[in-house]
Amino acid sequence: MKAFRNQPIITKMRILTAAILIAFIFTLLIFFGTYWFWGSKQSMEENTENTARSAAASLDSTLKNIARNFVFIFGTDSFAMEMSDMLNSETEVTRNRVLIQDELMALSSSTPLAVSAMMYDTENDTAYTLFRDVVIPSRARVLWSSELSSINGIEILPERPSPIRGLDTVIPMVFPITLNFGGATIASDKGEFIAILLLDPEAIHAILPDGIILSAKNGTIITQNTETIAEVPISDGGKISDWIYSYSVSLPFSNIRLTAYADFSARIRSLAGTTATSAVAAIAALIVFAIVFSFLLRRYVTAPIGKLKAAVVDIERGNYKSRASFKGSDELGELRDAISRMGLTIESQIAAIKEEEEKQTKTEMRLLTEQLTPHFLYNTLECIQQEIQNGNNIASSEMTRALSMYLRTVLSYGKETISIKNEIQHDMSYIRIMNGRFRQNISYQHESSPDIQNEEILKMVLQPFIENSVKHGFGVGNGSTWVQQPEITTSFSLTDGRIRIEISDNGRGFDESKFLSIMKGDEGYGHVGIRNTYLRLTKFYGEENVAVLVSSIPYFRSTVTIEVPLMEQKED
């Protein structure tokens, strides 16, 4: 860290620029990667859900139409009489098969999904098919015994080998039929007869999107047109498992469930190449930008700042007429002129101080005043330098303007006193500078009656206490801020010939006795500003005429109250 600190500004800027770009790239990748990941996941889930609902609605409508056609075909008096004849007469199988040919033909033609139809006599354990179909003897029974005992109304059974020669597999849709006094109706159990519509799995797959399975409510798969199945759901809704998202919808009409599947890992892999290419292109573009930015930064920012630094060093060594030699009237040009004016002003102040060496008390006060300025000035100039290096021209311009106003008050042409109105203006400038330096939004409120705003007080009385609030009350400059909305309030009032000054904040507070001890120089080091301010007050007004009171309620109101005598107005 020390080696980095001693590097030239341009080297630091290059290192910082590279670090910022790398951090920016990684942040960008993480941000957009996360955004894309969750966006893709949400989009996948929505698309899968919409696919499942749409496919379920379409399939359910198709099954309803099949059921309507079944009722139209089999719900006739003639069919009821045929069923009664088949049950009550000892006729041959061939005759019974002839009796139901028309109904079976009509049923198999009722939907493009069907390839054939059968009738099963549960009483006689006999199956009847269309004459056109050649039955494979080993598959003549399309229903299993366990299925016969569990049939409950219209059902769709799992895909199985077809009993019809020339067909690979079929999906049976069963319609149990029973005889009542009014005719034939759909039974709630296996009934006397079972009409079986043999559906073509390929035809069903053709009307459904890819990635769909049909299953029974218990999870038994009826048919599927996908191989990516994490698990078969037994409840409606969405679920993700092993990067496979599934969304299930029950079909209201039938006792089945439709599930749509989507492979999220496949989507990630398909877009990974595009993302990598885009990232490489972005990195290359940022590197070119960094090179150009570094060149322009050196020419227009760091070189002038280096000259400003040399001028400030010359002023510090006593050459108050030193001037940075570079062209331009931007913020750096304004800072150059301000530093030049500052050097001349400091030179005139030192000359004035030397002329008044016999006034020891005033000389000591001037030294204490000047002790407050350079530290703050150098920090502010360094912050302005950093803002300029970072390209924040508006922020650096505002801080430069605030610094100029601040310096006018500090210098105040050698005067030791200042009007209350100007003191408030001075403190406002200080707050603006601190807000700019530390990216804060410290609220500053001041209260004073108009009749005392022109009264004179010792200058720079409030600023050290405000600085203490900012640094130690709010934690500004320590890497974090302890208060969400920092607020500072100052007030001036006149009572019995004494000016009462109050400085309040809503910071974390302080130990009252320790604060007074530090301010009066009885304990420890640090807090130079408030200790010097107290010394200046006592030297200017006399220790017996200065009263200081403190109170602190952390994070609500901590107040420093100063009372000093009202100064007599002097004619110029």
Residues 257, 356, single domain; the answer is no
289 domain residue, yes or no: no
Question: Which positions ≥6 away from 384 have C-beta within 8 Å?
Answer: 331, 335, 396, 399, 400, 403
State residue 358's pLDDT score. 43
DSSP 299: I
Other beta carbons within 10 angstroms of residue 198's beta carbon come to 25
Residue 186 and residue 151 in contact, taking contact as beta carbons nearer than 8 Å: no
- The reply to whether 403 and 254 lie within a common domain is no
Checking if the pLDDT of 222 tops 60, the result is yes
Please give the structure tokens belonging to residue 110: 């009722």
CA 299 to mean position of chain CA atoms: 38
pLDDT at position 505 is 93
Q: Is 447 inside a domain boundary?
A: yes
β-strand pairing of 244-250 with 256-263 = antiparallel
* pLDDT, position 375: 61
φ, ψ for residue 291, nearest 5 deg: -65, -50
Q: Helices 331-355 and 360-389 sit at what angle, rounded to 10 degrees?
A: 170
CATH of the domain at 454: 3.30.565.10
Give the pLDDT confidence score for residue 525 in this predicted structure: 55
Of 382 and 72, more confident: 72
Are residue 267 and residue 398 in the same domain, yes or no?
Answer: no
Q: Is residue 53 part of a domain?
A: yes
Average pLDDT over residues 428-442: 84
Domain final residue, candidates 249, 280, 311:
280
By three-state DSSP, how is residue 277 classified?
helix
HSE-up (13 A, CA, CB side) for residue 327: 1
pLDDT over 70 for what percent of the chain? 86
The answer to whether residue 310 is domain-embedded is no
Last residue of a domain, which of 225, 260, 280? 280
- Rounded mean pLDDT of the chain? 81
Is residue 286, in this structure, part of any structural domain at all? no
**Mean pLDDT of the region 298-307:** 76
In a domain, 304, yes or no: no
Q: What is the mean pLDDT of residues 38-53?
A: 85
Q: What value does the mean pLDDT take over residues 356-364?
A: 52
What count of other Cβ atoms lies within 10 Å of the Cβ of residue 338? 17
The 8 Å CB, 24+ separation contacts for 405-410 are 405/429, 406/430, 406/433, 407/338, 407/342, 407/345, 407/377, 409/459, 409/460, 410/369, 410/372, 410/373, 410/459, 410/460
Q: pLDDT value at position 266?
A: 72
Question: Of the candidates 245, 280, 315, which is a domain's last residue?
Answer: 280
pLDDT at 470: 87
The runs of H, that is alpha helices, within 170-263 are: 201-207
Let me know whether 89 and 232 are in one domain. yes
From 102-106, 327-331, 548-552, the region with the lowest mean pLDDT: 327-331
Residue 59 counted as domain residue: yes
pLDDT per position as a tens digit, 233-290: 878 888 887 778 889 998 887 778 898 888 877 777 666 666 667 767 777 877 787 7
Counted domains in the chain: 2
Sign of the torsion angle spanned by Cα atoms 302, 304, 310, 315: negative
Between 406 and 163, the higher pLDDT residue: 163
- Poorest-pLDDT segment among 253-267, 362-376, 483-497, 530-544: 362-376
Of 10-14, 301-305, 306-310, the range with the lowest mean pLDDT is 10-14
- Residue 115 and residue 173 in one domain: yes
Residue 159 confidence (pLDDT) above 80: yes
DSSP 8-class letter at 130: -
DSSP string, 112-127: TTEEEEEEEETTTTEE
Residues 353 and 452 in one domain: yes
Residues 524 and 388 in one domain: yes
Same domain, 264 and 398: no
pLDDT at res. 544: 92
Q: Are residues 276 and 335 in the same domain?
A: no
Q: Residue 481: how many CB atoms within 10 A of its CB? A: 19
Together in a domain, 104 and 16: yes
- The overall pTM is greater than 0.85: no
What pLDDT does 273 receive?
Answer: 67
Domain enclosing residue 547, as ranges = 327-565
**Residue 223 CB coordination number (10 Å):** 21
114 within 8 A of 199, measured Cβ to Cβ:
yes
**Does residue 364 have a pLDDT over 60?**
no
* Same domain flag for 260 and 354: no
Closest CA relative to residue 547, chosen from 511, 501, 495: 501
Q: Are residues 270 and 377 part of one domain? A: no
Is residue 252 in a domain? yes
C-alpha distances out from residue 186 to 267, 455, 540, 555, Å: 47, 105, 111, 79
* 135: three-class secondary structure by DSSP: strand
Close Cβ partners of 235 (under 8 Å, ≥ 6 residues apart): 248
